[in-house]
């Protein structure tokens, strides 16, 4: 913070009498951008709150501690300075918080902002924010004077939060992990290098670990303030027993220097020791491994997000035994996004799911009540490779009225699994730490050709038009088209953006224009040696510029390939195979593209899959050459229509309860309904209804009695309803003994 300017300003304020004026309130969409964090919290060590902002746009003036524990931060923003600045001059304010025990904590912060507008008028912008942070049970030694680095760990990870870390075994690969955060998007993690150790020694020495960090010193744009976490892992060569000191470096390079020549180099040493001997227990067949699905071709991002364009993540599992239950918590860092939907997919699509949104993520319980289990993958029960099984799809959305941060980490924590007998299934031991983290990248306006904050088919149509006729597009769009960051707009950028757009559906509020001459027909499946083929014919394709299809796959069926037989002129196809959903994109690269195209879809079918399993085109989007959303007047032929009965469950009253509780089940239309009470393992406790119900609300009561007439024990239960393929569940708590 510019202290000299602050002292002069305060001196003038004290010396000059000013008539007291209460500024008017600012509009709701105008606030002072201040980022709040509690860096490196450790138990029983003094913590501090760090407020960060960008000067000269924002000045952090001071803070006040209220008796209630709330903290008020005074900040000023001059919009004229915000307009003329091209760099971010960091402003920081540190507030001491004192000691905190291990656990989850929240602090209420009030930002008292005074904003000077371009006409020199002022207004007051006050907002309240809850800052959440976790204090671990213990913290290791500080990693040393390395910028952007929070933690360095050498050796296998501890099996639990309170367990000591395992010994490092001699002559075996050694896991290495390093993590930290950047204050804004003017820093970029470019990689982790292992360099030869220059120390001359008769014994082998650990390599030098160098983190490459790019600094924006040449892009000529302002920095977007917001904490950006990063992490990296590597395996060090095995070492003989003994004590070692490993050199860890952070090399800062210019953003525009692709050769990564360091402009600044920071270094520290981290001690560790290799045990004389140790033995690892053999892997248990009764264990599992899990992680998010990652795209090896796009390691920077597992999903992209923007206003109105949510990110979808897929969590997958490899398991020895069949699993009947899965429980966990998804933590978002920073907590600037919201988890808006969870649904079981793939082999878990028949399981029940109960989840609850949290300020920094979500928690969930997935269980089986009908014999549907997540099948084992090792050994694989079929004659085709099983691979990791997708079991959970997580939708993460931006908070309305806000822009998502450049990078958000979605970390799966507190993961528990159980088999059909309710016995715990533990995570398999691994040499390298398994950090179940997915990377969600915020919209940086790349590929957003029309500038509406979304990335969808309409942007792709505009990109192709500009590629054909560059003179018709202003130079200001060039930065949005450079998807592969090579500073040149080529067809490669169109393909790069097309892969992003496969995950970006059109807004639901757009009304497509029906076209009588556009016809889309899904053909009948044709059996093959390993599965089946199915064709998709598009007639009137010359009316289109792009299309996007989302195909829902039944359990055991995977999309193995896509062809355009006969190579229709001017058309390009993109596809992304999956095990629960496959995405297909069609792009017209020339104005005289073929008017009729056939798309041949190749599917593999596992031995465990039903022979009658059918694919469903769940989404079909079409855009013409003018960016107008269109649709075939007859719909997509050959795809069954989805029906809904509007199944809803109200909150239980009371909840928790001691004797009886009541809730309502509402239907839009009459249908057969199954309603029951289930425990956390997915076992049926009491059946409340099975049969036909009319449309409208229906009230049900549970008195804590099991199906056999005995009293249910105190604890957490779920009341779940199933109707016409829809399932919904809510949680209730029985506390009779209290």
Largest CA distance in the chain: 90
344 with 428, same domain: the answer is yes
Residue 174 lies in a domain: yes
306 with 436, same domain: the answer is yes
pLDDT band at 6 (very low <50, low <70, confident <90, very high): very low
Sequence-ordered strand ranges (E) for 136-260: 149-154, 174-184, 187-195, 208-215, 225-236, 242-254
DSSP string, 59-84: EEEEEEE-TTS-EEEEEEEEHHHHHH
22 with 122, same domain: the answer is yes
Would you state the pLDDT for residue 328? 93
264 with 180, same domain: the answer is yes
298 with 255, same domain: the answer is no
101 with 208, same domain: the answer is no
Sign of CA dihedral 255, 256, 261, 262: negative
Q: Summarize pLDDT for 159-168 with one digit per residue, the tens.
A: 555 556 777 8
497 with 434, same domain: the answer is no
Q: Which residues neighbour 453 within 8 Å (Cβ) at sequence distance 6 or greater?
A: 306, 307, 308, 309, 443
163 with 259, same domain: the answer is yes
Q: Summarize pLDDT for 373-408 with one digit per residue, the tens.
A: 888 876 555 444 456 889 999 999 988 877 788 788
Q: Summarize pLDDT for 442-457 with one digit per residue, the tens.
A: 765 667 777 666 677 6
Choice between 210 and 299, residue whose per-residue pLDDT is larger: 210
Mark residue 363 as left, alpha or beta (left: phi above 0; alpha: psi -120 to 50; beta: remaining).
beta
Q: Confirm if 685 and 729 have CB atoms less than 8 A apart.
A: no
Would you state the pLDDT for residue 641? 45
- Coil, strand or helix at 468: helix
Q: Confirm if 242 and 206 have CB atoms less than 8 A apart.
A: no
617 with 587, same domain: the answer is yes
Rounded to whole angstroms, the Cα distance separating 301 from 353 reads 27
> In the listed set 637, 667, 686, which residue is the last one of a domain according to the structure?
637
pTM of the shown model: 0.39
Residues forming beta bridges with residue 561, ordered by sequence position: 602
Q: Summarize pLDDT for 57-94 with one digit per residue, the tens.
A: 788 888 898 888 889 999 998 877 765 443 456 677 88
User: Domain range for residue 256?
Assistant: 149-274
Whole-number CA gyration radius for the chain: 29
Residue 140 lies in a domain: no
Which range among 251-260, 492-501, 636-645 has the greatest average pLDDT?
Answer: 251-260
pLDDT at 574 over 70: yes
Q: Summarize pLDDT for 589-623 with one digit per residue, the tens.
A: 877 888 899 998 888 888 777 776 678 787 788 88
A 10 A CB-CB count for 428 gives: 18
Residue 282 lies in a domain: no
684 with 625, same domain: the answer is no
Would you state the pLDDT for residue 167? 78
The DSSP symbol for 169 reads: P
Residue 556 lies in a domain: yes
583 with 699, same domain: the answer is no
The DSSP symbol for 487 reads: S
CA–chain centroid gap for 595, Å, is: 39
698 with 633, same domain: the answer is no
What's the whole-number mean pLDDT along residues 672-688? 78
Would you state the pLDDT for residue 280? 44
Residue 144 lies in a domain: no
Compute CA distances 307 → 105, 481, 507, whole Å: 29, 19, 10
The DSSP symbol for 590 reads: S
Would you state the pLDDT for residue 9? 37
Q: How many independent structural domains does the chain possess? A: 6
Percent of the chain with pLDDT over 70: 77
Residue 492 lies in a domain: yes
- Tokens 């997000």 locate to 305
């Amino acid at each position: 913070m510019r202290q000299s300017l602050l002292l002069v300003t305060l001196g003038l304020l004290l010396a000059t009498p000013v008539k007291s004026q209460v500024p008017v309130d600012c509009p709701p969409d105008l606030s002072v951008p201040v980022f709040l964090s509690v860096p490196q919290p450790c138990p029983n060590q003094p913590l501090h709150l760090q407020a960060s902002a960008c000067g000269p746009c924002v000045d952090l003036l001071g803070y006040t501690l209220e008796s209630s524990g709330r903290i008020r931060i005074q900040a000023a923003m001059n919009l004229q300075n915000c307009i003329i600045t091209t760099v971010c001059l960091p402003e920081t304010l540190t507030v001491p918080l004192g000691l905190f025990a291990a656990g989850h904590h929240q602090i209420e912060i009030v930002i008292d902002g005074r904003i000077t507008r371009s006409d020199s008028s002022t207004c007051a912008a006050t907002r309240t924010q809850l800052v959440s942070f976790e204090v671990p049970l213990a913290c290791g030694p500080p990693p040393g004077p390395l910028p952007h680095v929070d933690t360095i760990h050498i050796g296998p990870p501890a099996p639990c939060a309170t367990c000591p870390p395992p010994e490092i075994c001699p002559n075996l690969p050694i896991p290495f992990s390093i993590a930290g955060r950047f204050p804004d998007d003017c820093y970029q993690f470019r990689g982790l290098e292992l360099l030869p150790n220059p120390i001359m020694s008769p014994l082998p020495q650990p390599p030098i670990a160098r983190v490459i960090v790019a600094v924006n010193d040449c892009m000529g744009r302002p920095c977007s303030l917001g904490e950006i976490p990063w992490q990296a892992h590597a395996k060090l060569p095995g070492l003989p027993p003994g004590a070692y000191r490993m050199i860890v470096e952070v090399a800062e390079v210019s953003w525009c220097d692709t050769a990564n020549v360091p402009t600044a180099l920071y270094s520290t040493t981290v001690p560790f020791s290799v045990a004389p001997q140790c033995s690892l227990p053999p892997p248990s067949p009764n264990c599992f491994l899990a992680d998010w699905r990652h795209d090896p071709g796009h390691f920077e991002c597992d999903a992209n997000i923007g206003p109105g364009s949510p990110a979808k993540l897929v969590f997958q599992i490899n398991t020895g035994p069949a699993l009947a239950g899965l429980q966990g918590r998804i933590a978002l860092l920073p907590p600037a996004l919201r988890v808006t939907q969870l649904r079981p997919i793939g082999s878990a699509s028949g399981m029940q799911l109960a989840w609850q949104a949290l300020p920094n993520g979500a928690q969930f319980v997935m269980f089986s009540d009908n014999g549907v289990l997540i099948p084992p993958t090792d050994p694989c029960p079929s004659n085709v490779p099983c691979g990791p099984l997708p079991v959970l799809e997580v939708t993460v959305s931006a908070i309305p009225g806000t822009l998502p941060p450049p990078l958000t980490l979605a970390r799966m924590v507190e993961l528990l699994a159980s088999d059909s007998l309710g016995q715990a299934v533990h995570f398999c031991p691994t040499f390298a730490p398994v950090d179940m983290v997915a990377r969600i990248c915020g919209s940086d306006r790349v590929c957003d050709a029309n500038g509406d904050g979304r990335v969808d088919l309409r942007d792709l149509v505009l990109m192709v038009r500009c590629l054909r006729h560059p003179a018709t597009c202003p130079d200001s769009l060039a930065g949005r088209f450079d998807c592969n960051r090579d500073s040149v707009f080529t067809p490669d950028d169109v393909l790069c953006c097309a892969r992003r757009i496969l995950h970006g559906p059109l807004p639901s509020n757009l009304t497509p224009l029906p076209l009588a001459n556009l016809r889309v027909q899904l053909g009948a499946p044709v059996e093959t040696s390993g599965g089946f083929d199915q064709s998709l014919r598009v007639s009137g394709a010359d009316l289109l510029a792009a299309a996007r299809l989302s195909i829902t796959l039944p359990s055991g069926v995977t999309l193995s390939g896509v062809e355009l037989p006969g190579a229709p002129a001017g058309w390009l196809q993109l596809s992304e195979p999956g095990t629960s959903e496959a995405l297909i994109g069609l792009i017209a690269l020339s104005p005289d593209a073929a008017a009729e195209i056939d798309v041949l879809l190749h599917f593999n079918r596992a031995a465990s899959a039903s022979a009658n399993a059918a694919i469903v085109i769940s989404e079909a989007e079409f855009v013409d050459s003018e960016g107008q959303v269109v649709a075939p007047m007859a719909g997509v032929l050959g795809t069954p229509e989805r029906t809904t009965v509007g199944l809803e469950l109200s909150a239980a009253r009371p909840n928790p309860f001691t004797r009886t509780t009541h809730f309502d089940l509402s239907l839009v239309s009459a249908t057969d309904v199954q309603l029951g009470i289930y425990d956390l393992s997915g076992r049926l406790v009491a059946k409340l209804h099975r049969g036909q119900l009319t449309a409208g609300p229906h009230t049900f009561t549970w008195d804590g009695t099991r199906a056999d007439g005995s009293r249910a024990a105190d604890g957490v239960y779920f009341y779940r309803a199933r109707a016409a393929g829809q399932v919904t569940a809510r949680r209730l708590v029985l506390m009779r003994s209290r």
